[in-house]
Amino acid sequence: MYKPKKPIFVPWIHPTENNLALARDLQAEAEKREVWFVPDVQHARWSWFELENFCASSYPAKPLIRVPEISPNLIVQALQCGARGLMIPQVKSAEEAKTVSRYAFFPPLGKRSKGGLRFDNRYGLMPDSQYFEEAQSILILLQIEDIEAIPAIDEIMSIEGIGGLFIGVEDLTLSDKSYGEGNKLITWDQPIVWEAAELMERAAKKYGKIWGMPITEELYKQKILNKYQKAFFFTVGVNQIGLDAATKMNKG
């Protein structure tokens, strides 16, 4: 299981007509320092073919692929595209977290099936020793996006193989009916977000894991997150704008 040593800021990636140019920008930045990005397979129009090409073209940048749901097929497809991590939406229980871990890892931790010639094993060119080492060191972030999941945060965080949790800010505030309440444009202002953050911070310290959330550069400058020692993974924007912001914040 991968554990970042310091906070990292990453762009959210949607497919565009300039996919190759964006992939090359990610690749160029990744040749200087560690770079992650989050392709969203749930809300964006990625095909697996497009996504695998993007991951290959942006290598050694690290894709943390957001799949639409807990599914063995979707999880293994994302991993075979070359994912170095997974983001799983709408996780509400420890049992669902165990299911993710089972689908994502090879034995003895899980029951992932080994595929054929895909980018995860460099189309057959990667030695098995390196392949299995990389496969067992992925980062899995489960999204807390519903108030039903709040009481289960500690137990979800405890599951072996799960690297941490990620707050789905908009869906979480929609679920407790506080989205936009008080004419607030920034949904981070809602109490449910910071309730989840407090519980995640406590659980992350307890189990030696991390948590994260989407954020803006302006909000981060307010130092709201200074008291949290385990908030290590932040998405900061979409495509080139997101990459530019992430690059700037990772240097800061």
CA distance 208 to 196: 17
Beta bridge partners of 231: 211
From the candidates 33, 43, 205, 248, give the one annotated as an active-site residue: 43
Strands 210-214 and 164-167: parallel
Other beta carbons less than 10 A from residue 206's beta carbon: 12
Cβ atoms of 213 and 169 closer than 8 Å = yes
CA distance 141 to 10: 14
The verdict on whether 14 is a catalytic residue reads no
Distances (CA, A) of 172 to 153, 175, 236: 13, 5, 18
Tell me which residues are annotated as active site. Answer: 43
